[in-house]
Amino acid sequence: MIEPYDVVSIIGNAKNAGKTTVLNYLLERMKKKVIGVSSIGMDGEPLDNVSFLPKPRIHLWPGTLVATAEMFLETATIGEKILKRTDISTPFGNIVVAEAVKPGNILVAGPSTIADMEKIVHIFHEHGAQKKFIDGAFARQSTAKMADGTILVSGANRSPVMDEVINDTERVIRRLSIPKSEKNLLTRNEWKKTEIFDFEGNWIGAGEHSAVMDPEATLGLLGPGVGYLYVPGATTAEFVRKFIKTKDAGMSKLVVYSPTNLIADDFIDVFPKAAEGRIQTIRPVNIVALCYNPFSPAGYVFDDNEFYERLRTLTDLPIFNVLSERSEC
């Protein structure tokens, strides 16, 4: 399932979806390899810092590399050896890269930005990591931008109503699966401004406004000869709808930097058949597997077979529950 991929991101559909359980499963299966582990935000704490419900700890094996705030080494049980201190700061202090000397648990608080996470991945590579796992904190699916393989975890904790979890999972899959731009767009502004290109991908001009703050001005860039409208940063489903309905859009394509820039819960409605292919991305997300967790720490449980079969209708991705005998991994 994940063998071909160097950097694997684990993202969830909700807080307490089950990402740490999936990470621990993968670490146990690959404990004979050198693995690098970090997180966007904090993970591995015994109690969730919002719900105060119990959470699984991140369990490392000897030889595993970890990037976390240095203060959390004091409570770790991995008998660590520090390999590198960095100048990457977190609210808990600077990040260090350490190697686990013995099996044990650790709290992981990694970089808050993709640029800093890329630095950590490079350090892992320098110290021989054969694979890097990045645990994405709740609502921070941005790690999928830098990964060459992404695992999506669909957890029952999203809602006690299975229909809502299924619909949400479909929304996430469709949003993250928009295709790569068919043209190699050459930017003049390092992707920081709205830009327009002709149908051959040649740069025409740039705007000063964001799609969120001033959608009308952004859509005003459209006109004859505009093949691609590139929108940096956050993009809402409402803006996408307006783009599709704009008369001057013609057959132009809307291009975002990453599918994770699309910040809405209702992107199923944005993708009618007529609009498919009209929304593209510079850095596509490669979802390689869908994990599911029928258990919620709030105290309710979905039927495993029903949850699996409902998810099976959404996608042809490999689907598995790491705590079940059923697995396609």
Question: What band does 310 get if pLDDT is binned at 50, 70 and 90?
Answer: very high
| Mean pLDDT value across residues 55-69 | 91
User: Which distant-in-sequence residues (6+ apart) come within 8 Å of 323 by Cβ?
Assistant: 21, 293, 295
- Name, of 91-95, 124-128, 218-222, 268-272, the range with top average pLDDT: 124-128
Question: What band does 264 get if pLDDT is binned at 50, 70 and 90?
Answer: low
Number of H helices, E strands in the chain: 6, 18
The predicted pLDDT at position 230 comes to 94
The predicted pLDDT at position 52 comes to 42
What DSSP state is assigned to residue 248?
G
Of 325 and 81, which is predicted with more confidence? 81
| Mean pLDDT value across residues 92-106 | 95
The predicted pLDDT at position 47 comes to 44
- Inform me whether the pLDDT recorded for 236 exceeds 50: yes
**Sequence letter at residue 8:** V
| Mean pLDDT value across residues 315-322 | 93
| Mean pLDDT value across residues 311-329 | 82
The predicted pLDDT at position 238 comes to 83
What does the alpha-carbon distance between residue 289 and residue 306 come to, in Å, rounded to a whole number? 19
Model confidence, pTM: 0.87
Q: Report the share of the chain in percent with pLDDT over 90.
A: 55
The predicted pLDDT at position 329 comes to 47
Domain architecture of the chain: domains with CATH: 7-177+285-320 (3.40.50), 195-281 (no CATH)
Average pLDDT, the chain: 86
The predicted pLDDT at position 210 comes to 77
Q: How many CB atoms lie within 10 A of CB 192?
A: 10
Structure tokens given for 243: 């783009």
What does the alpha-carbon distance between residue 152 and residue 292 come to, in Å, rounded to a whole number? 8
176-232 confidence digits (pLDDT tens): 888 999 998 877 777 788 999 999 999 999 887 778 788 888 999 999 999 999 998
The predicted pLDDT at position 140 comes to 53
Question: What band does 324 get if pLDDT is binned at 50, 70 and 90?
Answer: confident
- Inform me whether the pLDDT recorded for 150 exceeds 90: yes
What does the alpha-carbon distance between residue 42 and residue 122 come to, in Å, rounded to a whole number? 20
| 229, 194 contact by CB (below 8 A) | yes
| 108, 133 contact by CB (below 8 A) | no
Question: What band does 55 get if pLDDT is binned at 50, 70 and 90?
Answer: low
Of 128 and 144, which is predicted with more confidence? 128
The predicted pLDDT at position 326 comes to 55
Q: Is the dihedral of CA 96, 261, 280, 264 positive or negative?
A: positive
